[in-house]
Amino acid sequence: MSELIKSSLFKLKSKKILNPELDLRLLLNNTNKNKKEIILSNLEEKFIDIKTFNAYLERRLNYEPISKIINKKSFWKYDFYVNQDVLDPRPETELILEESLNFVKNKKKYINILDIGTGSGCLAISLAKEFINAKILAVDISKKAISIANKNIVNHNCLNQIKTKSICFSKVYDKFDLIVSNPPYLSISEYKKTSISVKKFDPKIALLGGIDGLLFYKYFSKKIPKIMKKNSYLILEIGETQGSKCIELLCKSGLKLIKKSKDLQKKDRILVFSKV
């Protein structure tokens, strides 16, 4: 084993970083000037850009997620540019795509979609790729997030389908066939319990949903039914304990719950509502 690997693994392990070998592989591959994939045992140090590697390692030792260091996170079928201005797309959010495909059967339909709190634009862009005739409005209150979403929209050639606006969702007045959102939904106490990586490197505005985490669902119950067309759908991500409260709030506002969808841990994470 090379000295570089030995000393880097030692440093990562001493910081109790969860998957040191995997992280090291990713950092080496992202600073490798050779095309060949590094699997540690085949490392040829002469191809590593050592200055960049050391800077990346230092950042990882400071608990920065690999995605933020290499500015890349995979979601659905694509890679997205990410940095500290946007939440890293999470696997459970892909369920929103699955349910959109379940409920909007005709992928060529001319539909209007709203993505509330678009962040990196991962949902809006993946929806645009699946529903090729859809027109999508992606809003986010954070100007910095919208500029990252715009970068991803250009990278994925979706300018003709997606319009972004840096506004609060309460300022949206058009009507839509499908509304999706993964809003901030952590309570203050849940936020305090998140890892150093999340607290230091994901934007707080993307995570905190008021004292009890339900703030956005309360606002949504007042606003969203007014901007849904007849026979339209609302697909929402929720925190694992928020199901019954969210259902109560949105059903009181006249929407009908049509599906609860579970994540791999068998927790309800996605709610699908319709407006008839």
Ligand X SMILES: C[S@@+](CC[C@H](N)C(=O)[O-])C[C@H]1O[C@@H](n2cnc3c(N)ncnc32)[C@H](O)[C@@H]1O
Candidate ranges 2-10, 33-41, 140-148, 251-259; the one touching ligand X (CB under 6 A): 140-148
For 244, list phi and psi in degrees, rounded to 5.
Answer: -65, -40
Task: Kindly tell me which residue out of 5, 12, 27, 122 binds ligand X, with binding defined by CB under 6 A.
Answer: 122
Q: How far is CA 102 from CA 27, 105, 110, 130, in A?
A: 38, 6, 17, 12
Nearest approach in angstroms of CB 238 to ligand X is: 11
Binding track, positions 171-200, relative to ligand X; x by CB under 6 A: -----------xxx----------------
On the 0-12 / 13-18 / 19+ scale of CB atoms within 10 A, 192 is exposed
Which residues in the chain belong to E strands, given as ranges? 73-75, 78-80, 112-116, 135-139, 162-165, 176-181, 228-237, 256-262, 268-275
Nearest approach in angstroms of CB 184 to ligand X is: 5
Q: Is 128 in the site for ligand X (CB under 6 A)?
A: no
- Angle between helix 243-252 and helix 215-223 axes, rounded to 10 deg: 20
Q: Is 209 in the site for ligand X (CB under 6 A)?
A: no
Nearest approach in angstroms of CB 276 to ligand X is: 26
SS3 272: strand
Q: Is 127 in the site for ligand X (CB under 6 A)?
A: no
Task: Kindly tell me which residue out of 26, 27, 69, 141 binds ligand X, with binding defined by CB under 6 A.
Answer: 141
Nearest approach in angstroms of CB 8 to ligand X is: 30
Residues 39-98 that bind ligand X (CB under 6 A): 87, 89, 93
Candidate ranges 16-24, 40-48, 62-70, 135-143; the one touching ligand X (CB under 6 A): 135-143
Candidate ranges 53-61, 120-128, 221-229, 267-275; the one touching ligand X (CB under 6 A): 120-128
C-beta separation of 78 from 87 below 8 A: no
Q: 229: which residues sit within 8 A by CB, 6+ positions away?
A: 112, 175, 176, 177, 275
Candidate ranges 16-24, 139-147, 150-158, 193-201; the one touching ligand X (CB under 6 A): 139-147
Nearest approach in angstroms of CB 138 to ligand X is: 9
Nearest approach in angstroms of CB 172 to ligand X is: 9
Count of other CB atoms within 10 angstroms of residue 171: 10
Q: Is 169 in the site for ligand X (CB under 6 A)?
A: yes
Q: Which residues of 211-248 are buried (b: 16+ CB within 10 A; e: fewer)?
A: eebbbbbbbbbebbbebbeeebbbbbbbbeebbebbbe
Q: Which positions lie near ligand X, rule CB under 6 A?
A: 87, 89, 93, 116-120, 122-123, 139-142, 145, 168-169, 182-184, 205-206
